[in-house]
Structure 1
Amino acid sequence: MWPWPSTAQDNWVTVGGDALAIATGYVVGKVIIGPALGAVARKLAQREARLAAAEAEAALAAEAKQATEAAQKAEADKIAAHKAYQTSPEGQAEAAARAAKKQRGAEKAQRHKEEKAQADAAKRQVPVEPSRTQPSRAPNPDAQPRGRRAKVEGEAKKQQSIRRENEAADHAAGADYDVEHNPSVPGTKKPD
C-alpha cells in the first residue's frame, strides 16, 4: 500500500475507457503511481468529459441536420405533387370550377350593387313621409295619446268635462254663468 492518500473525488475516474480505482494512494491494474496521480486523473476525466460532450453535440447537430433535410425534402415533394396535380386533367377541371365560381360571385356582387343603386335612386324620387314631430296633416282628435302626454291631456279633458257639467247644472238652476262667474265682463260681480 502506497503512502499517498487520495481525496474522495479521486476514488473513481475513467482514462481511455479503463476504470481506475483510486483508494489510499494505490491503483489497481496500473503502473502509473506517484504524488501527482490525483491531478493527472482529474485532467484525464475532464478530457474524457469534453470529448463526450463534443461527441454528443456532434450527434445532436447531425440529427438536426437530418431532420431539416427531411422536412425540406417533404416540402419539395409536396410542392412537386401540387404542381403535378395542377397540370393534370383533374386539377385543371378544379381550377376551372373555382374560376367559374369566382366569376359568379363577382357578377352577383355587381347585380346587388346595381339593384341597391336603383333602390336608392327610387327612394330619392319618392317623397319621404314627414316625421311625427312635423305632421303634414291635422291631428286626429279621436287618436289616443300615449305616455306623459296622454296623462296630461286626459287630466285636461277630465277638468273640461267637470266644468261643462258644472255649467250645465248652473244653467239648469237658472243662474247666469257668464254674469255670475266672469269678473272680466263689466257690470258683473264675484259670487258671494
Structure 2
Amino acid sequence: MAADRRPFWLGLAAGLALTVLAREAPYLNWKTFAAPLETDVLQVRQDAKGDGHFGAPRSGRRSHRGIDLLAPLNSPVRVIRSGTVIEVGAHRGLGRFVEVSHGGGLTSLYAHLASSRVERGDRVTQGQVIGAVGKTGNARHPWISSHLHFEVARRGEVVDPSTLGLRVLASSSETEPMNGRGGD
C-alpha cells in the first residue's frame, strides 16, 4: 500500500518544487530586462562633480543606491520590465521620480525626471515610456550633466543595476561594457 502512495507524494513534491522555482524566476534570468534609455550602450555619469556608479561614496557615510546614466534632457525613460507603478512623486534629492513593482519583491526606480507619463496604480509593460530625463532634485545644478538616476531593489535591498545584463560603460573615457564585476 505504501508503494501505491509513492507516485502521489513524488508528484506533490515536484509540484511544490516548481511552485518555488516559479516564484524565484524573476531572479534566475537577469537577461529579461529592457534598457531604461534608448541607446546601444548606457553610459554612467562620471565627472568632477560626482561619481554615478553603484556604491560610490556619498556624504554622511552613505553610498550611491543606483547608477546615474547620462542622457540628453527629455530623452524617453522606459520601464525595464512589466509591473505596477507604486509611487510617482517628488523628493528633495531624487527630484521627480517613478517607482515600479515587478512582482516577486523586485522594484525599479527612475529619478531626476523632467516629467512622468504614469500614475500610481498604472500597469506598465516592458519598454513602455514612463517619463523623460530631467534635471530635478540634486541634479538641478548647472554643473551636473543631465542623467537618469536608476535603482533596482530585490526584497527591499538595492542591487547593482549593472548586473542586469545591460551594456553599461563605466565612464565616457572607457570603452568596455560593465557586467557588475568591474568589466569583462
TM-score calculated relative to the size of structure 1: 0.18
Bigger radius of gyration? 1
Higher helix share: 1
Select the structure with the greater relative contact order (CA < 8 A; seq sep ≥ 6): 2
Higher strand share: 2
